[in-house]
Structure 1
C-alpha cells in the first residue's frame, strides 16, 4: 500500500506543517491537563456499575481468565492488520464519533453477556487502534511507518481507566523502553499481558446481570475517551521533544513534574 493510500486526505496540508509553534511550557501543561482528564474518565464507569465493579475479574469464568492474554494478543494482531489496511478506504473520524461508535458496540456486546462481549472485543480494539493512528497522523506521524505503528501499539501499554492508580502510570511514556528493533509481534507480546488485565475488567463489567448493556456502553465510552487522550499525550510529547531538539527522556521528566502542579 502506498503512502498516499494511508493518508486520510491526500490533498490536505500535512499535519506537521499545520502545527503552530507554541511556548513549550504552555504546551507541556496542556498535555498534563489532558493526562489528568484521561485518568478521571474511569470514574464515570465506576459510577455506572457501582459496587459491581469490585473484583471484576473474579466474575469471569476460569476458562476465560486463563485465556485473556492469548485472546488479547489475537485481538491486537487482527486489530493491527485491520486498522492498517482500512486507512486507504475509511478516513479518520473525529474523536466524538469514535467514542459514539464504540459506546454503541459496547452496549450491543454487553446486552448478550459474555459470548457477545467476546465477539465485540476485537472490533472495539480495531476502532481504538484506528483512533490512535488518527491522532498520530494529526501530530505529523505516518501510521504506515513501522516505528509509528509500534508507537501506536505502545499507547495500549498505558494503564486502563479502571486501574486503581487512576491513570497516573507513566510507564508507557518512558523513552527508556526503546521501540527500535522490536517487531510488531514482539511488541504485541509485551503489551498483551497488561492489556489483557485491562480488557478482562471490561469483559467482566459487561457480564454484570441486568447492567450488562449499560456497563458495556460505559466501559467502551471510558476506554475510547481514555486512549484517545493518552495518544494525544504520547504523540504530543514526542513532537514537543523533536520540535525543541531536546531528549525525549528530559521532556517526559518535565511532564512528570507538570503533573504535580495541576
Structure 2
C-alpha cells in the first residue's frame, strides 16, 4: 500500500484573519447609511437622466476643440514631467532605502520614512501645498505629481534592488571592480525592466491624477472641467470629459505596447 500524502495542516492564524476581515466587512456595511431605496426612486432616476441628457450633444466648435486640445497637451506634459522628476528622485532615494552601496552613508530607516511620508500624502493635498508655494498653474500640479510618485516609485525601486540576485555583483567586486561600477553593470541591468514597468504604470496613473489636479487650479483638462461645470455648461464639459477618456486610452495603449516591446 503506497504512502498517502500527509494532510495539510490548518493555519489557525489565517482562519482567524479571514474571520476578522469578514467581520470588518459586515460591520462596514452595517455602519454606513446606504440608502439604496433613495437611489432607485423614480424622481431620483428622472433627475439623473435629466442631468446626463444635458451633456448631449458635446461642444464641437473648432475654437473650443483647439482649447481642449491645448489643455490635453498640458495635462500630458504635466504627467510626463512629473513622472520623470519622480523617477530621478525615486532612484536616488531607492539606493539608500535598499541598503545598496553601503546606503550612501544615509540611514536606511530615515529614507524609508521619507518615502512613506511622500506617498502617504495624496496628490490633491500635495497640489494644495504646491499651489501655495508656486501659485496657480501646471507647475504646481507637476510638482504635486512628482512628490507623491517619488514616494511610490522610490519604494518600488528599493524593493526591486533589494530582491535582485547579488551573484553577478559579487563576482565583479571579487575581481576588483569598484562598488559603483559593479552595481551599474550587474545589479541595475537586472532590475531595469521591472523599474521601467513600474514607471509606465505610474505614468498611466499620473495622467488620471493630472486631470483631477486641474480641478484645484493646477491647469490642464481638470481646470477646464471645473470651470464649465461650475457654470452648468454641460455640453462643453462633455467635450472635456471625452478628451480625458481619449487621453487616458491613448496613454494606456502606448504603455501596453511599450511593456510588450520590453518583455518580447
TM-score tier (shorter): 0.3 to 0.5
- Bigger proportion of residues as helix: 2
Q: Which has the higher contact order (CA 8 A, sep 6+)?
A: 1
**Between Structure 1 and Structure 2, whose CA radius of gyration is higher?**
2
Normalised to the residue count of structure 2, the TM-score between the two structures is: 0.35
Normalised to the residue count of structure 1, the TM-score between the two structures is: 0.35
